[in-house]
Amino acid sequence: MEKTEKNTNEIISGPEAIRVRFAPSPTGYLHIGSARTAFFNWLFAKKTKGRFILRIEDTDISRHLEEAIELIMDSLKWLGMSWDEGPDIGGNYGPYRQSQRKEIYLEYAKKLVENGRAYYCFCSQEKLAEKRKAFMGDAKADYYEYDRECYYLGPGKVRENLEGGIPWTIRLLVPDDIEIKFEDLVYGSISVSSNTQEDFIIIRSNGLPTYNFSAAIDDILMEITHVIRGEDHLSNTPKQILVYRALNAGLPVFTHLPMILGADGTKLSKRHGSISIEAYRQDGFLAESIRNYLSLLGWSYDEKTTILSLNDILNKFDLSQINKRPARFDYEKLLWLNGHYLRNMPDKDLEKLILEKIRLDTKTFNANISDIDKKIKKIIPIIKERIKTLNEALDIIYVFFRPVSYQQDFIDYIKTNKDTAINVIDDAILLLSGIRDFSHDNIEAALRNISERKNLNFRKTAEIIRAAVWGSKVSPPMFGTMEIFGKEECALRLKAFKKIIA
Ligand code: GLU
């Protein structure tokens, strides 16, 4: 048996031949880490004019939800990734769901048995547990490996057991004393002795393949040229390479993407904010900013460039520039990026997204939609600078359409200067009612006038008016906000507030 693997790049004949896959196990929503894996595969396929394949790894039925497959596909589409082959659209290498490929795995496993590269094992769980116990009891080794008992069964005995209906698994015969070597595009040259790998099970007693077997078989049969996946699979790669070798198949190029940690350096989890793409979508993030952010998890164009459009990413992305240092997922940075994209979006586009969200939110919002269509055009320019998510935009927008609610502590605060406040409000009611064209500039002039007449600094004056009209210390720019409310609504709010503090 040859001692080293072939140069991994040899099997690629040209850019057209590039085939990559994203192979999620459908256990739930698409997470940040998997989305990054999908995105890097997709980017690489786009850049090389290769093909991006979606394969669903759903052999472990109990853990898989039909619904999860839909959720994953939805999130991928929302992020703007489409696939060239997959369970929904088919392709020449299907089926693309592992649950529909069981016979294929079995067929290959049996072929390996015939060629002497794998063997049936009839050891029961209990027997294996005993072996393990005995081994660990008197050996110094800290790991146990299967002792090949069943490898030595003669063909007659194997047939007898099979015919007798004794439950079996199939194990790969791992050659002794060879180096399993491969070049990982990120982690570099990796070499593992085959002696560290036991004869692992490739077909379980229920007839289903183990992950390392089905993944390798599919990658071979689907002619995957580049396996790009998370670093957590690095330790599986030697096992998969053993399957390739047993079938005399050429290796793909392996690329393992660095781990993603939370901002505090611990394993990424819910504590660090939402981790599903769907949650970000619900929270009013843009696909654009998520994509931009994903691209920075393990890759960077240079040290300083943060904002990258999809085109920039497509132009600059390079698999060989991926860093093996763990990436940090920083929610604040993503939020900042999202704000950036919202601010720089044409008003028309932002309006469309906001209206879509409002229409979905029938629970919170029941104002007359035609009214909102008119007002929203004026609202967007004044809130655009201050929102970081679409949901933040909605929170502000709702204030325009709902009765204002005054917080008690804020009322108390204004009441510490009750007489001044009442005075200012009275003046405002009077002056504002006299404005014919209730525009930003005229409102400003009126309020400045009050502040001068009362000899009260303008900030103080505005604070009182804002309290009455908006109900808090901060609001979108005041004059524009008042213009949108209109004269009558402003007067109503001023009067109501006066009553409350009087
Ligand atoms: N189904 C595996 C996972 O979701 C993918 C493994 C692979 O890409 O080889 O982690």
Percent of the chain with pLDDT over 70: 94
pLDDT of 35 over the 60 cut: yes
pLDDT grade for 366, boundaries at 50, 70 and 90: low
Tokens for 355?
């209206």
pLDDT of 7 over the 60 cut: no
Most confident of 168-172, 356-360, 397-401: 168-172
Q: Report the DSSP beta bridge partners of residue 54.
A: 22
Q: What is the pLDDT of residues 384-416, one digit of tens each?
A: 999 999 999 999 998 888 888 888 888 888 888
Q: Rounded mean pLDDT of 273-280?
A: 89
Angle between helices 487-501 and 418-433 (to 10 degrees): 160
Q: Rounded mean pLDDT of 474-489?
A: 92
Q: Which of 20, 25, 58 to mutate to test the pocket of ligand 1 (most atoms within 8 A of CB)?
A: 25
| For the CA of 57, the nearest atom of ligand 1 | 1
What pLDDT score does 304 carry? 87
Helix (H) / strand (E) containing 327: strand 327-329
Q: Rounded mean pLDDT of 145-156?
A: 94
pLDDT of 480 over the 50 cut: yes
Residue 172 sits at φ, ψ, to 5 deg, of: -80, 135
What pLDDT score does 469 carry? 94
| For the CA of 21, the nearest atom of ligand 1 | 8
pLDDT of 151 over the 70 cut: yes
- Give 37 Cα–ligand 1 centroid separation in angstroms: 10
> How far is residue 113 from each of residues 119, 213, 221, measured CA to CA in Å?
5, 14, 19
Residue 454 sits at φ, ψ, to 5 deg, of: -85, -5
- Give 468 Cα–ligand 1 centroid separation in angstroms: 57
pLDDT grade for 140, boundaries at 50, 70 and 90: low
pLDDT grade for 303, boundaries at 50, 70 and 90: confident
Residue identified by tokens 């309006």 is 351
- For 341-347, the CB contacts below 8 A with 24+ separation are 341/286, 341/288, 341/289, 341/292, 342/286, 342/384, 342/387, 342/388, 342/389, 342/390, 342/393, 343/384, 343/385, 345/286, 347/377, 347/380, 347/381, 347/384
Other CB atoms within a 10 A radius of the CB of residue 211 amount to 17
Alpha-carbon Rg for the chain, nearest whole angstrom, is: 32
**Which residue ranges have their beta carbon within 6 Å of ligand 1?**
23-25, 57, 215, 229, 233
Cβ partners under 8 Å of residue 480, min gap 6: 378, 381, 382, 440
- pLDDT mean across residues, the chain: 91
Pick the residue whose CA is nearest to atom 4 on ligand 1. Answer: 24
pTM of structure = 0.89
Cβ–Cβ < 8 Å for 172, 152: no
* HSE-up (13 A, CA, CB side) for residue 257: 29
What pLDDT score does 139 carry? 58
| For the CA of 22, the nearest atom of ligand 1 | 8
- Give 495 Cα–ligand 1 centroid separation in angstroms: 63
Checking DSSP bridges between strand 169-172 and strand 201-203, what pairing results, if any? Answer: antiparallel
Cβ–Cβ < 8 Å for 250, 11: yes
The rounded Cα 7 to chain-centroid distance in angstroms is: 33
- Give 23 Cα–ligand 1 centroid separation in angstroms: 5
Q: What is the pLDDT of residues 117-131, one digit of tens each?
A: 999 999 999 999 888
Q: Which of 20, 22, 55, 57 to mutate to test the pocket of ligand 1 (most atoms within 8 A of CB)?
A: 57
- Give 228 Cα–ligand 1 centroid separation in angstroms: 10
